[in-house]
Amino acid sequence: MPKKANGSIFHSIAEKLLGIDNTAIPKQQLKAINEILSRFKFDTNTKDKKKLMEVLKKKHLVDSILVAQRNGSIVMDSNGNSIKEAICGTALFNYIQSEMPKSETVLIKGEKDWFMLFPQRENVFIVRAPSSMSCIELKALAKEIEETKK
């Protein structure tokens, strides 16, 4: 019995030192979300940028999508008036990338939502959502926008 106690102490210490996360994937919740989303059809085959952005907001469950050039000028926007957010987001991303050149995605947890910055070619995508998105989800969103711009 003493070995189990010592083993669990070492295991506990190792978890804290190594930052081991035993969080399980919420399979039930993912299944429910997939069932709900499978009932909807998201038509992204449109040339109207405003309509496209509204469809993508619903499809990806986000509050806003903003595509800006690295200098802060807006390319596409789901809210219609986000000049301040475009300048702030691109400046923040450019600063982080100057300090950490290999950085790809920036996720910032705010009081009410997540602020996510993701570069794709010459643009920076700025996304606000109630929960964070993975790099893969952000890349998929960027790819959909870029495919419809062609």
- CA distances to 4, 63, 89 from 83, rounded to whole Å, are 60, 16, 10
4 has pLDDT over 60:
no
CATH architecture for segment(s) 42-149: 2-Layer Sandwich (3.30)
Share of the chain above pLDDT 70, in %: 81
- pLDDT greater at residue 114 or residue 144: 114
What are the boundaries of each domain within the chain? Answer: 42-149
Q: Using the structure block, give the residue that is written with the tokens 């301040």.
A: 84
Q: Are 68 and 75 in contact (CB under 8 A)?
A: yes
Per-residue pLDDT tens over the stretch 25-78? 677 777 777 777 677 677 667 777 788 888 888 888 899 999 999 999 999 999
Note the pTM of the prediction, 2 decimals: 0.70
pLDDT for res 119:
92
Question: Identity (one letter) of the amino acid at 150?
Answer: K
| Exposed e or buried b per residue across 128-144, where buried means at least 16 C-beta atoms within 10 angstroms of its C-beta | bbeebbeeebbbebbeb
6 has pLDDT over 90:
no
